[in-house]
Amino acid sequence: MSDINHIDKKPLIRQIIRIKNMICNCCKVSVRELLEQHGIKVEELELGYAVVLYKGSEMSLEKMDTLLKKLGMGIIKTREDQMIEKIKQAVVDLVHHMNNVNSIVRKSDYLVEKLGMSYQQLSKAFSHHESITLEKYIILNKIERIKELIDQNEFSLTEIAYMMDYSSVHYLSGQFKKYTGYSVSDYKVGLAGSKTSLDQIGQD
DNA sequence: CCGCCCGCAGATCATCCTTA
DNA sequence: TAAGGATGATCTGCGGGCGG
């Protein structure tokens, strides 16, 4: 009797979950692996969201959130959370995934166009939700991208400045030192600290 | 000569706050 | 919710120094 009821009460739930701090394909691999290890079928998986199928009696959103937090991620719950995550992904797209110089338009214009909200609204929501301003978040992402380009050792600092939409190499150099505490030269010879994970940007 | 770094002044922009 | 103003931060342009 109880066994029959137990089986009947195992409905499969299909749900879209929004996931924060997914910033690259490596994250997708990790998320899929983690969820499948816990019996969750992943039907679709993109940066920022997944379509999952799971047994309601064995798994819940809370449990999934706990699992994802082990990867530095988590499930987005409120509308504001979702908006902040969209802003972050737009910034990551802009800074890290656009190698075409011409595509790097004014950051605020790009975000306004991509998210369909005024810059004031975006900035206010971001500052309210995070410990840094939207502008600083963009700059910190650019610094991490610059570190990557320096590590690749393919471009001079002048070329990197041009690629990252700085008007001059000297301003890039100055901003790099301001935000990291060490110069580009120090970073190149390994005297400085390592790169920061994108999901840790802005978190003290 | 080239690449990198630094300082300064002025222009531009982002953010915050107030008001309607 | 949008508009406008104030303020501080960021960015640019110029000039110069240093080391390879």
Assess whether A46 and A98 both reside in one domain.
no
Q: Is residue A103 part of a domain?
A: yes
> Same domain for A96 and A164?
yes
pLDDT tens column, A47-66: 888 888 888 778 888 888 88
Counting Cα atoms < 13 Å in the Cβ hemisphere of A194 gives: 3
Residue closest to A25 by CA, chosen among A43, A48, A42? A48
List the one residue out of A150, A152, A151 whose CA is nearest residue A161: A150
Do residues A20 and A50 both lie within one domain?
yes
Residue A93 confidence class, pLDDT cut points 50, 70, 90: confident
**Does residue A28 belong to any structural domain of this protein?**
yes
The rounded distance, in Å, linking the Cα atoms of A25 and A52 is 18
Q: Which of A34, A50, A69 is the last residue of a domain?
A: A69
Residue A185: pLDDT band (50, 70, 90) is low
Q: Note whether residue A13 is domain-resident.
A: yes
- Assign residue A184 the CATH number of its domain: 1.10.10.60
Same domain for A60 and A86? no
Residue A84 within any structural domain of the chain: yes
Q: What nucleotide is nearest A165 when CA is compared to C1'?
A: C11
For A183, the token pair is: 């110069």
Read off the pLDDT of residues A122-173 as tens digits, 9 standing for 90 and up: 776 776 666 666 777 777 777 777 777 777 666 667 667 766 766 666 667 7
Are A123 and A64 within one domain? no
Closest nucleotide (C1' vs CA) to A106 is B13
pLDDT in tens, A27-49: 888 899 999 998 899 999 888 88
> What Å distances lie between residue A48 and A53, A85, A186, CA to CA?
17, 8, 35
Range of the structural domain that residue A101 is part of: 79-200
Q: What is the mean pLDDT of chain A?
A: 70
What is d(CA A76, CA A85) in angstroms, rounded to the nearest whole number? 8
How far does the CA of A131 sit from the C1' of B20, in Å? 31
Question: Cβ(A166)–Cβ(A158) under 8 Å?
Answer: no
Pair A119, A191 in one domain: yes
pLDDT at A7: 39
Cβ within 7 Å of nucleic strand C, residues: A 118, 120-121, 135-136, 139, 165-168, 170-171, 174-175
Alpha helical stretches, state H, A44-101: 61-69, 79-96
Task: Answer yes or no: do A132 and A189 share one domain.
Answer: yes
A137 and A42 within one domain: no
Q: Indicate the number of domains in chain A.
A: 2
Dist CA A28 CA A15 (whole Å): 17
Query: Which nucleotide is closest to A158, CA to C1'?
Result: B3
The answer to whether residue A130 is domain-embedded is: yes
Q: Quick one: what percent of chain A has pLDDT higher than 70?
A: 50
Note whether A64 and A17 are within 8 A (CB). yes
Statement to judge: residues A87 and A187 lie in one domain: yes
Query: Is the C-beta of residue A162 closer than 7 Å to nucleic acid chain B?
Result: no
State residue A100's pLDDT score: 41
Quick check: is A126 in a domain?
A: yes
Residue A74 in any domain: the answer is no
Burial per residue of A181-203, b for 16 or more beta-carbon CB atoms within 10 angstroms, e otherwise: eeebeebeeeebeeebebbebbe
Domain match, A96 and A187 both? yes
* A72 CA to B3 C1' distance (Å): 39
The predicted pLDDT at position A32 comes to 92
Give, as one character, the DSSP assignment of residue A193.
-
A117 plus A141 within the same structural domain = yes
- A47/A95 same-domain check: no
- Among candidate residues A39, A69, A99, the one where a domain is terminated: A69
